[in-house]
Structure 1
């Protein structure tokens, strides 16, 4: 197993492809912002 193997992570990095062994991390690492509700001053 090495750079030519399509089922390994190293092989997918060398070919530039994605799959189960090399998932894309698009948008999963973002932290949701806290919603600050405006206070009503009377």
Structure 2
């Protein structure tokens, strides 16, 4: 497992590809109620 392995996380980083091993973004923080209240003021 190394830089040339397409299935490993390191290999995906080197190749610049995404997949199950390396998802694009973990999870975007959703706009919370507190943030909406601050915007309303």
Q: Same fold (TM over 0.5)?
A: yes
Q: Any gaps of 5 or more consecutive residues in structure 1?
A: none
Question: Which structure shows the higher helix fraction?
Answer: 2
1-side partners of 2:9 and 2:3: how far apart?
9
Name segments (4+ residues, structure 1) moved above 2 Å: none
Q: Which runs of 5+ in 2 are unaligned?
A: none
- The count of residues paired between Structure 1 and Structure 2 equals 36
User: Over aligned residues, Cα RMSD in angstroms?
Assistant: 2.2
Q: Who wins on radius of gyration, i.e. which is larger?
A: 1
User: If the length of structure 1 is used for normalisation, what is the TM-score?
Assistant: 0.66
Normalised by the size of structure 2, how large is the TM-score? Answer: 0.68
